[in-house]
Structure 1
Amino acid sequence: MTTPITAVIDSSPELEVVAGVDTHHVAVLSTTGTRLGDLQFPARTEGYEQLLAFIRSFGSTRLVGVEGTSSYGAGLARYLMSQGVEIREVVRPRRAQRRHGKSDPIDAYAAAQQALAEPKTLPVAKAGEGVVEQIRVLLGVRRSAIKARVAVIRQIKSMLITAPEDIRTRWEGLNERCLVESLAATRPGPATGSVITVTGHALRRLARRHQYLTVEVTELEDDLRVLVGRVAPAMIARRGYGVITTATLLVTAGANPERLRSEASFAALCGASPIPASSGKTNRYRLNRGGDRQANWALHQIALGRLSNEERTKNYAGRLGANGKSKKDVLRCLKRAIAREAFHLIVHPEPVPATEDLRDLRHQRGATLVQAAMSIGAEPARLSELERGKRPNAELATTYRAWLIAA
């Protein structure tokens, strides 16, 4: 059901207009800031078509500002992009800016005014489609499964603390994996027989729920590995980038990473840009606590992994420490450097060395996995994964190929 247009004036086809959208309401301004009209529309395809026709009835569309392009405005954003309309993500106004009240028309006009006044500073909306959108959906499901599994193991341990003595002493001292497997295989007897049997049944159900969630997480990671390898093979093949960390950074960049103006903007988006914290004679920077915290977590995991097993990163951290940097400052610098690298791997990916023929080359040479691994200083299991395409690694693939084709 649409509301009447509150203010409509005649316009020529040559007139350029700017629109703003808040939930189910659109408002249109001329480029001089004149209010041309507003309209309520349903959040369906026919409503989106009605909205676009309404905007274009005033003239050519310069820009549309949409609030919540990653939530309630996602469907509209996808439709407008498919129609070639340039859109921007409108930031929700601060409470102090709402002194004129709040309603859908007011917020829609505020969005249009923001799009008109700040077209270059407002972020370009994510496309929300394609393989990256598939990754985002699976990543969200995996995240909830991980949280549920953590909650289950906490409940198991909590129940064991208050369980009867026979149950508590039977299962104490086991690690998490053995505890879950052992509890899942128990046969405690009738569920309503006694406190001991009821507790045993409850622990078995929780353990089997934990196993089910573990299978679900594994299946999700297998699907994510396929999708990530399809959209960012150069990134997943770089040392330190795992399936989950790579998927997280891809979702942060979006399906249209060209919207990011520079590697500095991507670092700021990930919360890895340096924040000045100088005072008086002190001249320093601190960690950025803003940005996408999931992306910041991904950079953190990559940094920790490289600090533990990459000589180049260890040397870099050592030089920073020798120059008076604290551990937090060293980590901040590492995350900033990794964000720069990740940006170029996403926007300007490098060609990835082929691995499909590595096993055939090894067979032609008559070498076993153990012999090959010992020759190049790698783990046999790691080479097997590389040959099967399970864990790409461009550096290891290059070294392995050089050894295989050496005379």
Structure 2
Amino acid sequence: MTAAVVGHTAGQEVFGGVDSHTDTLHIAVISDNGGHLADAEFPTTAAGYTAGLAFLNAHGHVLAIGVEGTASYGTGFTREARACGHRVVEVNRPDRAERRRIGKSDPIDAYAAARAALSGRASSAPKDDTVAGIRALHNAARSAVKARTAALNQIGQLLITAPEAVRTRYGRLKTAERTDALARQRPAGDAVHTAVLTALKSLARRVKELTAEHQALTKALDAEVTAHNPGLRAAYGVGPDTAAQLLVTAGGNPERLRTEAAFAALCGAAPVPASSGRTNRHRLSRGGDRAANAALYRIALCRMSGDRRTRDYVTRQTEAGRTKKEIIRLLKRAIAREIFRCLTTNVAVPEIADLRPARQAKNITLTAVANHFGVWPATISTLERGLRRDDDLANAYREWLTTA
């Protein structure tokens, strides 16, 4: 541990700043008027966290600690500091202009984090650990999809340059049929044919294994998301992947998001003022969490495809002269408002477990129900199993079953 200490008064109010790295933490202390008091380096271990907090407490009453990387390298220190009752705020890295002006080093970044906590520029509470399991499952599931896509692309590229007999036999098959056929085949022929078929068989088996892995992870992720926030999972168009991404973006303590406008800005779905002089306009936000923005986009597309209210809204906006891109932007902003309500309040999810037993007790088929309501049988099936939320249809379905 190294330290540089400046004279200070015992019992004064101070602010801390932490620059976190893989193996070390650099901690700085400033007074409540911004004066530099001390800085020191500690290891990223349990003992290092304890020593770092003792170092901060030795300089006075700690009002707040600004930490860079509360969800990465600074996670352990953040957890320990909050357990000890300290107020921790999340600090973004200094902007490039400031970094060019004053340079970069661990002490400089630690003091900058402390000043951010003092000035109020950094005021957001860090995310807690309640969604750590959802984050882990979500990352693993996406990794499986990425690896599966890479293997499928490799199969396609190999077939382009494969011997004519191999390309003719497997090149025209659809993706699932091709994968099954390649996984079953036994490499034979000359050296080139055997090598190519062996590679294709290995890739096909990899695709099948990754598909099964992704299905298992998605099932586990769905259970975790539903248990954590059933209202969010039940919202129309919100599947396991999009719900997990939105929960990871908001964190397990969504009270850190003060307003729904702040959540929309976090997701990059809030229009940014771009007015000047006589010009009064807004532009598209290109900041925020782009993965959360993509989740809102997928929800919007799903609702445009199957939700009656959304389709009527799209029709009205199209007649008003708006383009499809503009309509999707409006929808994402409205969806962000709904998602914020699901994240910050307990949204009641209507019970649908009684629908299927009631239908089966009267020997009514899915097809008969679907024909009565003018929908596909799959729509009724997913509604009964809780995979689709449509409160109006569920209520009408229940009333119809009562009188049928």
Instruction: Report if TM-score (shorter chain) is over 0.5.
Output: yes
3-state SS of paired residue (1:143): helix
| Residue in structure 2 matched with residue 61 of structure 1 by the alignment | 62
- Say yes or no: does 1:295 pair with 2:292: yes
| Residue in structure 1 matched with residue 163 of structure 2 by the alignment | 164
Contact 2:236 2:389 in 1 (8 A): no
3-state SS of paired residue (2:265): helix
Report the CA distance shift for 1:173/1:78 in structure 2 as closer, same or farther (over 3 A): same
Contact 2:236 2:388 in 1 (8 A): no
Offset of residue 60 of structure 1: 2.4
Contact 1:245 1:298 in 2 (8 A): yes
- Deviations along 1:298-346, one digit per CA (max 9) or x if unpaired, are 1101111111122211222222233332222111111101111110011
**1:111 pairs with one of 100, 110, 113:** 113
Letter in 2 for 1:92: R
Letter in 2 for 1:47: G
| Residue in structure 2 matched with residue 202 of structure 1 by the alignment | 199
3-state SS of paired residue (2:43): coil
Percent same amino acid among aligned pairs? 48
Contact 1:236 1:393 in 2 (8 A): no
- Deviations along 1:156-178, one digit per CA (max 9) or x if unpaired, are 11110100111011112211111
Alignment of 1:15-26 (within 5 A): 15-23=12-20, 24-26=25-27
CA distance, structure 1, for counterparts of residue 353 and residue 250 of structure 2: 29
CA distance, structure 2, for counterparts of residue 286 and residue 316 of structure 1: 22
| Residue in structure 2 matched with residue 185 of structure 1 by the alignment | 184
Offset of residue 76 of structure 1: 1.6
Offset of residue 84 of structure 1: 2.8
3-state SS of paired residue (2:30): strand
CA distance, structure 2, for counterparts of residue 243 and residue 395 of structure 1: 23
- Deviations along 1:39-65, one digit per CA (max 9) or x if unpaired, are 211111221122222222223221110
Pairs aligned (count):
399
- Say yes or no: does 1:146 pair with 2:141: no
- Say yes or no: does 1:335 pair with 2:336: no
Which stretches in structure 2 are left out of the alignment for 5+ residues?
none
Offset of residue 125 of structure 1: 1.5
3-state SS of paired residue (1:25): strand
Letter in 1 for 2:42: F
CA distance, structure 1, for counterparts of residue 168 and residue 332 of structure 2: 46
**2:320 pairs with one of 316, 319, 323:** 323
Offset of residue 389 of structure 1: 4.3
Letter in 2 for 1:181: D
Letter in 2 for 1:140: N
CA distance, structure 2, for counterparts of residue 213 and residue 332 of structure 1: 34
Offset of residue 210 of structure 1: 0.6
| Residue in structure 2 matched with residue 72 of structure 1 by the alignment | 73
Offset of residue 80 of structure 1: 2.1
Offset of residue 70 of structure 1: 1.8
Q: Aligned-pair RMSD on alpha carbons?
A: 2.2
Contact 1:28 1:36 in 2 (8 A): yes
- Deviations along 1:194-226, one digit per CA (max 9) or x if unpaired, are 101111111010000011110111011101110
Letter in 2 for 1:97: E
Which stretches in structure 1 are left out of the alignment for 5+ residues?
none
CA distance, structure 2, for counterparts of residue 236 and residue 377 of structure 1: 26
Alignment of 1:328-407 (within 5 A): 328-391=325-388, 394-406=391-403
CA distance, structure 1, for counterparts of residue 74 and residue 97 of structure 2: 24
Report the CA distance shift for 1:395/1:78 in structure 2 as closer, same or farther (over 3 A): farther
3-state SS of paired residue (2:27): strand
Q: Which moved more, 1:298-307 or 1:383-392?
A: 383-392
TM-score of the superposition, structure 1-length normalised? 0.91
